């Protein structure tokens, strides 16, 4: 699934991005809010 940059979910001052696995062997640089949104979209796709 292709994810498109959405600046409305970037709050890096309080929640900096880190590398995290959102699917097996699929890593993204995201903060917790972004990762939750990615995981939710993956569940519904």
Query: What pLDDT does 13 receive?
Result: 82
Query: What pLDDT does 45 receive?
Result: 78
Query: What pLDDT does 21 receive?
Result: 93
Q: Give Cα separations from 16 to 1, 3, 24, 31, 35 (angstroms).
A: 23, 19, 22, 6, 12
Query: What pLDDT does 38 receive?
Result: 86
Domain residue limits, the chain: 17-45
pLDDT in tens, the chain (45 residues): 677 777 776 778 888 889 999 889 989 888 888 888 888 988 887
Query: What pLDDT does 1 receive?
Result: 65
> Which string of b and e fits 8-45 if b means at least 16 CB within 10 Å?
eeeeeeeeeeeebebeeeeeeebbeebbeebeeeeeee
């Amino acid at each position: 699934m292709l994810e498109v940059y959405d600046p409305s979910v970037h709050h890096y001052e309080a929640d900096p991005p880190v590398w995290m696995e959102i699917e097996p062997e699929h890593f993204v640089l995201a903060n917790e809010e972004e990762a939750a949104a990615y995981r939710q979209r993956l569940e519904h796709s």
